[in-house]
Amino acid sequence: YPQSETDIQPRFPADFRWGAATAAYQVEGAARTDGRGPSIWDTFSHTPGRVLNGDTGDEAIDHYHRYRDDVALMASLGLTAYRFSVSWPRVQPTGRGPANAAGLDFYRRLVDELLAHDIEPWLTLYHWDLPQELEDAGGWPARDTAARFAEYASLVHDALGDRVKRWTTLNEPWCSAFLGYTAGVHAPGRRERAAGVVAAHHLLLGHGLATQAIRSRDADAQVGITLNLYAMATATDSDADRDAARRIDGLQNRFFLDPVLCGRYPGDVVADLAGVTDFGHVRDGDLSTISTPLSMLGVNYYTRYVVTAAESHANVDGHGGGGDGSAGSPFPGSEHVAFTHRGLPVTHMDWEIDAAGLGEVLRRVATDYPSVPLYVTENGAAFPDEPGPDGAVDDPSRVEYLDGHLRACADAIADGVPLGGYFAWSLFDNFEWSWGYDRRFGLVYVDYATQRRTPKTSANWYADTIRRWGNGGR
Ligand code: GBH
């Protein structure tokens, strides 16, 4: 990979976390092993037509059995932290009741292996795999699911709290709520405008209750939530486009940031949703639970939204939009908005590459919200990587993407943003949700036929970068 001698070396704090991330359903496989129950993603991926090519996470990359080799690979790259998620139905096969010891044991082994290699475990409790029985009882639109989540969090903390100090309650509740219950492109595949709004509230309530449960067990635990935040732009300066951008920013960013960090829903978004719900599902005291102080905020950043007012809905990801206008939009009450591009290079997901947007998002959170330590818990890109004739996998576009976004992080830090770490998404190629195995985000290539792992050029570049920039940039 190219390296310019004259490039300014970005500076990072000496204790900056250099990590990579995965999620349980995307990598583990072993879907019926050691008493694991079914989750909504098992049901969804086994429903014809939901996932590209009929792919499922049944085997995924078999991380459940290969975790030892996988941790050794992390160590060889010099990672100082690894972000993974726990599968709720491994711990509670039906979402209720006592812990399934065999399921918890996998995470004990994984965490011990990480610690033995001096890699800090960053544990996410929920990366979208709700036990199917809880969905059958109403799913996230049912208030009881929040209480069930806090109980599950307690079980995991009781088993791992002595070894794990970094806890993330939810990954991207926007996706669980609005892709799962309103757009229907993620599990459980429901298309109900109000259900996404109510689900979002119960996810956030579950986050607050779980945070309190963990803190009551360990006052020193570092607990946070990860949100998928987007930089914003408008197609033109028209009032209509600006209002469209305000609406999308409201539902995507502020609808989660404001309750968690300020204890209130944004008034303009509540007004936009007037035809969707009257917020009768919000009870006294909920917002103070939801705004239980955080130790850290995780930011997942991939791209910028370029928004324009439109006659009819056009889907964000060019997929799952449905034929009937508003039904497939993940933005209830704001369906008449379209997403466009500005002609920048795109990734295999058709997302524009916009590293400056990451800096904007970090500065915005640091400026507009009460101070909280920030971590980039996901950032990365899909490209159609394939091995060359020599078996090597060269991915210069991913190197360029990561380099640009890490430099944006360093610039934000220089401006005073309290950013403490960066996790590349993803360590491995894996099950990319509704796109199945057709989109490769990994720094490490996986040959799904043999499960052979091959570090791509980007993995070697990241290892080298951690060495060069990882000691305060000296
Ligand atoms: C993250 O979501 C996830 O946390 C991670 O698991 C995922 O692998 C990664 O991004 C890369 O996508 O095409 O209509 O099915 C980021 C937000 C939301 C982006 C879902 C992809 C697909 C919607 N993602 N979206 S659709």
For the cut 90, the answer to whether the pLDDT of residue 326 exceeds it is no
| Cis ω for the linkage preceding 259 (within 30 of 0) | no
How buried is residue 390: exposed, middle or buried, by Cβ count under 10 Å (0-12/13-18/19+)? exposed
Q: Is 314 in the pocket of ligand 1 (CB under 6 A)?
A: no
Has 378 been annotated as catalytic?
yes
Which residue is closest in CA terms to ligand 1's atom 25?
A: 317
Residue type for 211, please?
T
* pLDDT tens digits, one per residue of 137-156: 999 999 999 999 999 999 99
Question: Residue 148 in contact with residue 96, Cβ under 8 Å?
Answer: yes
The phi, psi pair for 461, rounded to 5°, reads -65, -40
For the cut 80, the answer to whether the pLDDT of residue 4 exceeds it is no
For the cut 50, the answer to whether the pLDDT of residue 400 exceeds it is yes
Q: Is 378 in the pocket of ligand 1 (CB under 6 A)?
A: yes
pLDDT attached to residue 460: 98
Contacts (Cβ under 8 Å, ≥6 apart) of 216? none
Q: Is 432 in the pocket of ligand 1 (CB under 6 A)?
A: yes
pLDDT attached to residue 9: 86
Q: Is 300 in the pocket of ligand 1 (CB under 6 A)?
A: yes
For the cut 70, the answer to whether the pLDDT of residue 87 exceeds it is yes
* pLDDT tens digits, one per residue of 415-427: 999 999 999 999 9
Q: Rounded to the nearest whole angstrom, what is the distance from the C-alpha of residue 230 to the centroid of ligand 1?
A: 12
For the cut 60, the answer to whether the pLDDT of residue 110 exceeds it is yes
Mean pLDDT of 24-45: 98
Q: Is 425 in the pocket of ligand 1 (CB under 6 A)?
A: yes
Q: Rounded to the nearest whole angstrom, what is the distance from the C-alpha of residue 95 to the centroid of ligand 1?
A: 24
Identify the active-site residue in 28, 378, 400, 432. Answer: 378
pLDDT attached to residue 319: 39
User: In sequence order, what DSSP letters do the residues of 348-383 get, joined into one string?
Assistant: TT-PBP-HHHHHHHHHHHHHHS----EEEEEE----
Residue 76 CA, distance from chain mean position: 25
Mean pLDDT of 15-44: 98
For the cut 70, the answer to whether the pLDDT of residue 252 exceeds it is yes
How buried is residue 239: exposed, middle or buried, by Cβ count under 10 Å (0-12/13-18/19+)? exposed
Sign of the torsion formed by the C-alpha atoms of 155, 159, 165 and 170? negative
Q: Rounded to the nearest whole angstrom, what is the distance from the C-alpha of residue 403 to the centroid of ligand 1?
A: 21
Q: Is 360 in the pocket of ligand 1 (CB under 6 A)?
A: no
pLDDT attached to residue 3: 58
pLDDT-derived band at 313 (thresholds 50, 70, 90) equals low
Q: Is 89 in the pocket of ligand 1 (CB under 6 A)?
A: no
Beta strands at 304-309 and 337-340: parallel, antiparallel or unpaired: antiparallel
Q: What is the ipTM for the molecules in this complex?
A: 0.93
pLDDT attached to residue 327: 46
Q: Rounded to the nearest whole angstrom, what is the distance from the C-alpha of residue 434 to the centroid of ligand 1?
A: 9
* pLDDT tens digits, one per residue of 259-298: 999 999 999 999 999 999 999 999 999 999 999 999 999 9
**85, 179, 256, 433: residue to mutate for ligand 1 pocket, most atoms within 8 A of CB:** 433
Which residue is closest in CA terms to ligand 1's atom 23?
A: 317
Helix then strand count (H, E) for the chain reads 16, 13
pLDDT-derived band at 471 (thresholds 50, 70, 90) equals confident
Which residue is closest in CA terms to ligand 1's atom 19?
A: 317
Q: Rounded to the nearest whole angstrom, what is the distance from the C-alpha of residue 172 to the centroid of ligand 1?
A: 9
Contacts (Cβ under 8 Å, ≥6 apart) of 107? 86, 123, 156, 159, 160
Which residue is closest in CA terms to ligand 1's atom 8?
A: 432
Q: Rounded to the nearest whole angstrom, what is the distance from the C-alpha of residue 39 to the centroid of ligand 1?
A: 18
